[in-house]
A and B are shown apart, each in its own frame.
Chain A
Amino acid sequence: MSEPFIRFRDATKDYGAVRVVESLNLDIARGEFVSLLGPSGSGKTTLLMMLAGFESVSAGSILLDGREINTLPTYKRNMGVVFQNYALFPHMTVAKNVAFPLDMRREPKAATAERVRKALDMVQLGHLADRLPSQLSGGQQQRVALARALVFEPRVVLMDEPLGALDKQLREQMQLDIRDLHRRLGLTIIFVTHDQDEALTMSDRIAVFNQGKIQQCASPRQVYDHPANRFVAEFIGETNLLEGQVQAVTDGQVTLALKDGTSVRAQGVAGLRAGEAGLLSLRPERIEIQEGTAAEADNSLAGEIVDSIYQGDHVRVVIATAFGEIIARTGRKAREWPERARVALTFRAADGWVIAP
């Protein structure tokens, strides 16, 4: 399978003078779960709408299975779409809603009934087939929408913030359900969200969007541990950013001089050169706090406890340093620190990540 299943080639979308999606390139393999993650207005939904055929492509092209589909009308694209507001047909029963795509394809009646039953069983709603959508809860409606988008075995399933309207508990359950369906059915899913936890939970790859461009497209682990730039580092998870100057780069190991002259060792993005400015991204949970001065550690920074907040599953500690306030997360069982205690912050070279500022 050399040819990617879906390929965006310099795909561009303009609304009047506003460029919403800019020369975007993205390849998606068959069976992959790709999340499009970004703040609202970053172009992720527009990209999905172009793929579904709801929006035209201003420039560039979209290829499906090697064929350009720029001008193919939506109803011929054979893509299942799940919308945030469910978009169920209010005048049809649950079963009729799910049968709709099969009716449109003029499938035989008996086969349709059987497939509708299976699809509803798949989302555990077989017992509600004769209800109207308005008689269902939000989570049930979204499961109906899911069944409707899957029942005709589409080539791709597109989801536009499908869980945005659900409460937290239901959302987490649905995340696991969708992840499970993806694995069981081998679906190709493109999932738009602004919720990073959702993207991290379900995706094979996450494409992080900002201002109409993909900032980074990689596995959840890669995106979190090795963000490509400052936007990704700040958008996904929480991080501490420390300014400095790159002193040396050897085999991916970066030596960075912080503002007060402290030298730290860390890993870093490709393309850093000695003498240039660098930004150290340090995840709060990778920092260890020790009393007084540090014992053996790759890197150590001096600081003073400002606050220590118990959060149930972890303790959040705020430390004042020469580089501004640093946030650290320590385990639930770690000690709580008295205010103004002088401490040393340590982290392994493998846990620091240097990006271009």
Chain B
Amino acid sequence: MIRGRSLRAFALVAPLMAYLALFFIWPLLTVITQSVSDPSVSRVLTRTAAEIGAWDGTGVPSAQVQAAFRADIVANTDDMAMGDVTRRLNSSKSGFRSLMGKTVTAVRENPDIDLASIDDRWTQTEFWAAIQANVSAYTDAYLLAALDLERDKTGAIAAMPEGTSANATILVRTLWISALVTLCCLLVGLPYAMIAATVTGWKRAVLLGAVLLPLWTSLLVRTAAWMIILQDNGIINQTLMALGIIDHPLALIYNRLGVVLAMTHVLLPFMVLPIYTVLLTVPRNLMTAAASLGAHPVRAFLRVLLPLSFRGIVSGTLLVFMAAIGYYITPALLGGASDQMLSSVIAFYATGSANWSMAAAIGLVLLVLTLLLYAVYNRLSRDPVQAR
């Protein structure tokens, strides 16, 4: 009986589980794997990869390892793949390009040839060390590159040379724009939520409807609407020029202003709703009580209403910030070249240059950032009264 029941319960959640596994967990794992996998060397030098791990890094590897290396060269039929291997090894230790060319030709003629007799570079430890460093199927190179870092010749983590990558700059910019948008949402949303929680009847319905309406409209439509409003011959510029306040259009679009303005509008509900919900639980006469006890309205606000709505403010702030970090369409359509956020870099790597590993690595950076914020959110959004 019990077993039948739990089986039924499991059957009920099974579609959900299957859905989550197929469309959430599996893609997530794929992305994570993609961001750290680097099969180009290990795919070709399979046997070498299996043997060279045991080498202690002094002198040259044993004959067994060398034999495995020769066997790999003989077994390989794909010149393109071997070219990838050569390029990778050469970037670790220059000289590999000529060495590998020479070695491949010699080994194909005589599979049992002594490597040292082809070129005496095979007697040098550095060249074998370069192979050992690159045969792993996994690499942190993409993740490091996502943060403008790389491993230098000695294997230590170091900053990339100036001007070669802008990921870190864009990451900082993403955080900065998100912070700006969050601040704007707070400045607009807090008073808005307070008014909405104070009024009743149709006024409250109108206020909440106005803030919810954007949620029910397509993001693309909303962004397009902002383009119409902000462009050079848009409503704002036309009006200001007609009134004679300005004589040439203000730059409202394709810059930081347009991005922040539109993102604030789109994300405002996520600020207003949590604050509003928390404010509803605050007894109405606490503010009148504070006034009767001699508190000026400003001090009553700071000492009573603000602490009591803190939970909502924290929730709203983090929700808006977390959502803003991943924004793509709005900055792409309303921002200039220097307003693009991390998502557009991901889009570039994924669709522009087909570098899936790089796209996955940057995506992972965003994911980790969001998870960290979520942990903060979880801590701070606990009821301060109960948390004591």
Residue of A nearest to B299 (CB): A104
**A80-115 near B? 1/0 per residue, CB < 8 Å:** 110101010111000000001101110000000000
* Residue-wise interface mask of B (286-325) relative to A, using a CB-CB cutoff of 8 A (1 in contact, 0 not): 1011111111110110011001100000000000000000
Minimum Cβ distance to chain B for residue A88 (Å)? 8
Which of A23-31, A71-79, A242-250, A320-328 is near enough to bind chain B?
Answer: A71-79
In the assembled complex, B29 has its CB within 8 A of some CB on chain A: no
Instruction: Return the chain A residue nearest B303 by Cβ.
Output: A100
Asked whether B285 is an interface residue with its Cβ less than 8 Å from the other chain, the reply is: yes
A positions within 8 Å CB-CB of B = 52-54, 73-81, 83, 85, 87, 89-91, 100-101, 103-105, 132, 134, 148-149, 152, 158
| Most B-side CB within 10 Å, residue of A83, A91, A149 | A91
Q: Is the CB of B291 within 8 A of A90?
A: no
- Known contacts A85-B285, A87-B285: does B385 contact A134 (CB below 8 Å)? yes
Question: Restricting to B347-388, which residues have a CB under 8 Å from any CB of A?
Answer: 384-385, 388
Q: A85-B283, A87-B286, A89-B286 are in contact. Are A52 and B304 (CB under 8 A)?
A: no
Task: List B contacts of A80 (CB < 8 A).
Answer: 292-293
Q: Which of B283, B294, B308, B385 contacts A101 (CB 8 A)?
A: B294
Contacts of A76 in B (CB 8 A): 294
Q: For A89, what are the chain B residues with a Cβ–Cβ distance below 8 Å? A: 286, 289-290, 304, 308
Complex interface: chain A residues within 8 A of B303 (CB): 100, 103
Q: Which of B297, B384, B385 has the most CB of A within 10 A?
A: B385
CB-CB under 8 A from B291, the residues of chain A are 53-54, 73-75
User: Smallest CB–CB gap between B100 and chain A, Å?
Assistant: 71
Which residues of chain B in 96-118 are interfacial with respect to chain A, using CB atoms and an 8 Å cutoff?
none
B254-289 interface bits toward A, Cβ cutoff 8 Å, 1 = contact, 0 = none: 000000000000000000000000000001011011
With A90-B385, A91-B384, A91-B385 known as contacts, the answer to whether A101 contacts B293 (CB < 8 A) is yes
Give chain B nearest CB distance to A45 CB in angstroms.
12
| Cα of A132 to Cα of B288 in the assembled complex, Å | 20
Expressed in whole angstroms, the minimum distance between the Cβ of A200 and any Cβ of chain B is 27
Besides the known contacts A132-B385, A134-B385, A158-B292, 9 further A-B residue pairs in the complex with CB atoms under 8 A apart: A54-B288, A73-B291, A75-B292, A79-B292, A81-B289, A89-B289, A90-B308, A104-B299, A148-B293
